[in-house]
């Protein structure tokens, strides 16, 4: 079991201590501000000056909340960004409503009308909070689809606005009645407040760690707002409330609490990314809860309209004007709600089609990977068999080399016999080199960077492929520059790169009846370059040849992993690999590797005074 180091304890303790000090400083500063606000209000006394001071302060305090909340809106997580922006939007809507209040009391010098259409802004400010709750940013699922997110919010806004107009507006426009208007407004407002508080409370109880602390503060701020709103409404009913009164102190504290929740989340932003932020049961049981609940709400929103119309037509006991108003509102609301549901369904279908296409592509890639794994197992077994056979071949080769050396160096034998023995020795040495290359290629060893002669690596790779070059229709031409800087790398890995490129080129030319593969080595400034040019049909998509699982070979012959692995090996060596079609046809692969002796003067593609070493294998 691993235990945290002492230094980590000290860092964590220091962070907690600094956060506690910052919290104490913020709370102290806010307490001083509240004391200053209360002192000014007491000094001004009830009147127009106090009303102007109280309303103006309340207009700008929500900006403090927005500043704290929007600190967290710049993360790479879109779900989290939308969560904090929705909370800030709620505070901004309250500020807009307060500006209306200030306009009447400060600018027009008269009280707000009892039947005020602007009350809908205070009512709708809870909608962003509800939408933020649905996001549940603590979950580590895939990021939300922005189109569906906008549609869900628009659907929620439309339906909630319809509910407000259906319940509250008849007593403002159809049959004006202040008492029923206030009762319906407050009842509907408190229902959504209770729902919002219950949502934050549920998230508070079901999460842990930093998110639990954040949700607890948001729960406290929302609950305090509901209690303050209830208290102010009671005071208004008793004619005891006025702007700048003591009832405003907890209201101002609500926005400070929201700002503090955002500040706390910003300070704990690293902890919010911790993997164990929520109960694993919640994530396991609700893998697609967002889309399911959004679909259910869309269905309920559409089905609720006939029920509201039936209520207004058959169960309504109010005046005829109220019934007619509600029926008209229901019919008008049916069109935008149906349109939004249709658009959401269209976007959801498009999203499912995209996911289905990606799933099909993933399944195809998995099948190719499975085939590659099976083929790799076969190659491993074949490599072990080849290694054992090569070791067995080395024993008689050693004897052949030994006896051929004796015969070739024996002066008592005729010249013709010694020449024949020398030829046997050369062929035996060639066979031994091929066996050693085969063993090196099949051996699985950790990468080892050494100083390499790139010409030797290329030659070894070509000799390996020449063992299987049965057809006379294809040939390999080697044009190796005799003087090249060294390259630091793993010879076995680079030989695998060159072997794969040569193998692909010969396979492509074989399909078109044969051809020639030209391999050139040269120095280009601070790099050693290896060019592979064939006379085959060329590449259809040269820019995709290094993508995993991309292959043009028939099913069962290629998996599309060879060149992607080559690309990774060259990148690990600090080099570059390119693919393009030649001007005269055929494919060209260019491998650039950094030269060790980069201080030598740079030259072009053909060095003056240096004669390339030609070689032909067919």
**pLDDT at 434 exceeding the cut of 60:** yes
Alpha-carbon distance 63 to 45, whole Å?
26
Kindly report whether the global pTM for this prediction surpasses the value 0.75.
no
Residue whose structure tokens are 């940013």: 137
Query: What average pLDDT does this structure show over 16-20?
Result: 70
pLDDT confidence bin for 438, thresholds 50/70/90: low
Query: How many residues does the structure list for the chain?
Result: 618
Rounded to the nearest 10 degrees, what angle do helices 126-135 and 289-310 cross at?
140
pLDDT of residue 599: 43
pLDDT confidence bin for 437, thresholds 50/70/90: low
Segment 269-296, tens digit of pLDDT = 888 876 544 444 444 444 455 556 666 7
Q: Are strands 474-480 and 515-524 parallel, antiparallel or unpaired?
A: parallel
Burial of 460 by CB count in 10 Å (0-12 exposed, 13-18 middle, 19+ buried)? buried
Name the least confident of 92-106, 221-235, 494-508, 538-552.
538-552
**pLDDT at 511 exceeding the cut of 90:** no
Choose the most confident range, by mean pLDDT, from 161-170, 217-226, 239-248, 594-603.
217-226
Mean pLDDT, all residues of the chain? 81
Alpha-carbon distance 553 to 432, whole Å?
33
- Residues 95 and 121: beta-carbon distance below 8 Å: no
pLDDT confidence bin for 609, thresholds 50/70/90: very low
**pLDDT at 618 exceeding the cut of 80:** no
> Max Cα separation, the chain?
135
- Residues 536 and 505: beta-carbon distance below 8 Å: yes
- Three-state DSSP at 556 gives coil
Alpha-carbon distance 562 to 548, whole Å?
8
Q: Residue 20 has what DSSP assignment?
A: H
- Residues 266 and 72: beta-carbon distance below 8 Å: yes
pLDDT confidence bin for 386, thresholds 50/70/90: low
pLDDT confidence bin for 601, thresholds 50/70/90: very low
Structural class in CATH, domain 446-617: alpha beta
Q: How many CA atoms lie within 13 A of 198 on its CB side?
A: 6
Q: 444 — phi, psi (to 5°)?
A: -95, 100
Segment 154-180, tens digit of pLDDT = 887 888 889 999 999 999 999 999 999
List beta partners, residue 278. Answer: 207
Segment 59-93, tens digit of pLDDT = 999 999 999 999 999 888 888 898 999 999 999 99
**pLDDT at 12 exceeding the cut of 60:** no
**pLDDT at 377 exceeding the cut of 90:** no
Query: What average pLDDT does this structure show over 480-489?
Result: 90
Residue whose structure tokens are 């009350």: 119
Alpha-carbon distance 584 to 570, whole Å?
27
pLDDT of residue 492: 80
Alpha helices in 136-177 (DSSP H): 146-167
Q: Are strands 576-581 and 515-524 parallel, antiparallel or unpaired?
A: unpaired
Alpha-carbon distance 438 to 464, whole Å?
7
Name the least confident of 161-175, 203-217, 231-245, 284-298.
284-298
**pLDDT at 100 exceeding the cut of 70:** yes
Residue whose structure tokens are 């929620």: 156
Buried b (16+ CB within 10 A) or exposed e, 462-491: bbbbeeeeeeeebbbebbbbeebbebebbb
DSSP assignment string, 473-515: TEEEEEEE-SS---EEE-HHHHHHHHHHHHHHHHHHHHHTT-E
Segment 520-553, tens digit of pLDDT = 999 988 899 999 999 888 888 787 787 765 666 5
Alpha-carbon distance 259 to 261, whole Å?
5
Alpha-carbon distance 148 to 346, whole Å?
10
Q: Decide which of 562 and 407 is more confident.
A: 407
pLDDT of residue 30: 94
Q: How many CB atoms lie within 10 A of CB 307?
A: 11
Name the least confident of 91-105, 133-147, 160-174, 482-496.
133-147
pLDDT of residue 447: 64
Q: Give percent above pLDDT 70 in the chain.
A: 80
pLDDT of residue 556: 46
pLDDT of residue 610: 35
Name the least confident of 110-119, 206-215, 519-528, 544-553.
544-553
- Residues 165 and 315: beta-carbon distance below 8 Å: no
Alpha helices in 70-177 (DSSP H): 78-102, 119-124, 126-135, 146-167
Alpha-carbon distance 215 to 129, whole Å?
12
Q: Residue 70 has what DSSP assignment?
A: G
- Three-state DSSP at 607 gives coil
Write the CB contacts of 583 (distance below 8 Å, at least 6 apart in sequence): none
Query: What average pLDDT does this structure show over 114-130?
Result: 89
Segment 309-361, tens digit of pLDDT = 888 888 877 888 999 999 999 999 988 888 888 888 888 788 888 888 888 88
pLDDT of residue 427: 77
DSSP assignment string, 251-277: HHHHHHHHHHHHHHHHHTHHHHT-S-S
Choose the most confident range, by mean pLDDT, from 234-243, 423-432, 447-456, 518-527.
518-527
Q: Decide which of 364 and 262 is more confident.
A: 262
- Three-state DSSP at 62 gives helix
Q: Give percent above pLDDT 90 in the chain.
A: 32
Q: Are strands 527-534 and 515-524 parallel, antiparallel or unpaired?
A: antiparallel
Query: What average pLDDT does this structure show over 97-121?
Result: 89
Tokens read off for 494? 């680079």
Alpha-carbon distance 472 to 462, whole Å?
16
Alpha-carbon distance 611 to 479, whole Å?
9
- Residues 135 and 228: beta-carbon distance below 8 Å: no
C-alpha distance from residue 284 to each of 108, 215, 277 (Å): 57, 21, 14
What residue ranges do the domains of the chain occupy?
Answer: 22-147+177-280, 446-617
- Residues 340 and 158: beta-carbon distance below 8 Å: yes
């Amino acid at each position: 079991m691993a235990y945290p180091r002492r230094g980590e304890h000290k860092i964590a303790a220091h962070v907690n201590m600094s956060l506690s000090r910052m919290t104490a400083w913020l709370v102290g500063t806010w307490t001083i501000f509240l004391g200053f606000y209360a002192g000014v209000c007491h000094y001004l006394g009830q009147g127009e000056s106090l009303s102007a001071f109280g309303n103006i302060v309340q207009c700008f305090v929500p900006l403090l909340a927005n500043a704290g909340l929007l600190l967290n809106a710049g993360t790479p997580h879109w779900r989290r960004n939308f969560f904090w922006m929705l909370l800030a939007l709620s505070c901004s809507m309250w500020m807009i409503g307060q500006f209306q209040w200030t306009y009447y009391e400060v600018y027009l010098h008269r009280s707000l009308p009892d039947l005020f259409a602007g009350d809908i802004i205070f009512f709708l400010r809870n909608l962003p909070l509800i939408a933020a709750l649905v996001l549940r940013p603590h979950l580590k699922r895939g990021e939300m689809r922005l189109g569906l997110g906008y549609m869900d919010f628009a659907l929620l806004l439309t339906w909630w606005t319809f509910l407000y107009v259906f319940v509250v507006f008849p007593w403002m426009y159809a049959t004006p009645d202040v008492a029923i208007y206030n009762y319906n407004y407050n009842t509907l407002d408190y229902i959504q407040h209770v729902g919002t508080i219950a949502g934050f409370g549920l998230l508070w109880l079901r999460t842990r760690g930093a998110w639990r602390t954040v949700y607890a503060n948001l729960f406290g701020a929302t609950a305090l707002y509901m209690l303050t709103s209830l208290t102010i409404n009671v005071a208004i009913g008793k004619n005891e409330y006025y702007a700048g009164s003591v009832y405003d102190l907890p209201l101002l504290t609500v926005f400070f609490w929201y700002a503090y929740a955002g500040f706390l989340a910003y300070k704990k932003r690293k902890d919010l990314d911790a993997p164990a932020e929520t109960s694993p049961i919640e994530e396991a049981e609700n893998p697609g809860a967002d889309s399911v609940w959004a679909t259910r709400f869309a269905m309920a929103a559409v089905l609720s309209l006939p029920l509201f119309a039936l209520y207004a037509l058959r169960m309504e006991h109010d005046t005829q004007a109220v019934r007619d108003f509600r029926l008209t509102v229901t019919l008008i609301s049916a069109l935008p709600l149906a349109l939004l549901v249709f658009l959401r369904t269209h976007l959801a279908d498009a999203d499912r089609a995209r996911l289905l296409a990606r799933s099909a592509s993933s399944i195809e890639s998995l099948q190719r990977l499975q085939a590659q794994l099976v083929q790799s197992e076969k190659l491993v077994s074949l490599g072990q068999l080849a290694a054992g056979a090569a070791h067995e071949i080395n024993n008689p080769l050693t004897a052949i080399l030994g006896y051929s050396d004796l015969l070739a160096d024996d002066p008592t034998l005729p010249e013709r016999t010694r020449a024949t023995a020398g030829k046997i020795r050369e062929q035996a040495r060639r066979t031994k080199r091929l066996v050693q290359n085969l063993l090196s290629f099949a051996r699985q060893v950790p990468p080892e960077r050494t100083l390499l002669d790139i010409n030797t690596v290329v030659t070894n790779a070509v000799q390996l492929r020449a063992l299987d070059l049965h057809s006379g229709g294809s040939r390999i031409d080697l044009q190796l520059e005799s003087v090249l800087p060294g390259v630091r790398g793993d010879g076995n890995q680079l030989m695998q790169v060159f072997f794969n490129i040569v193998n692909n080129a010969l396979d492509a030319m074989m399909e078109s009846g044969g051809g020639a593969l030209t391999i050139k080595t040269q120095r280009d400034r601070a790099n050693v370059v290896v060019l592979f040019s064939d006379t085959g049909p060329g590449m259809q998509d040269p820019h995709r040849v290094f993508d995993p699982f991309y292959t043009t070979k028939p099913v069962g012959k290629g998996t599309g992993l060879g060149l992607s692995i080559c690309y990774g090996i060259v990148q690990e060596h600090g080099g570059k690999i390119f693919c393009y079609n030649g001007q005269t046809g055929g494919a060209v692969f260019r491998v650039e590797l950094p030269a060790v002796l980069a201080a030598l003067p740079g030259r072009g593609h053909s060095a003056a005074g240096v004669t390339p070493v030609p070689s032909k294998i067919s």
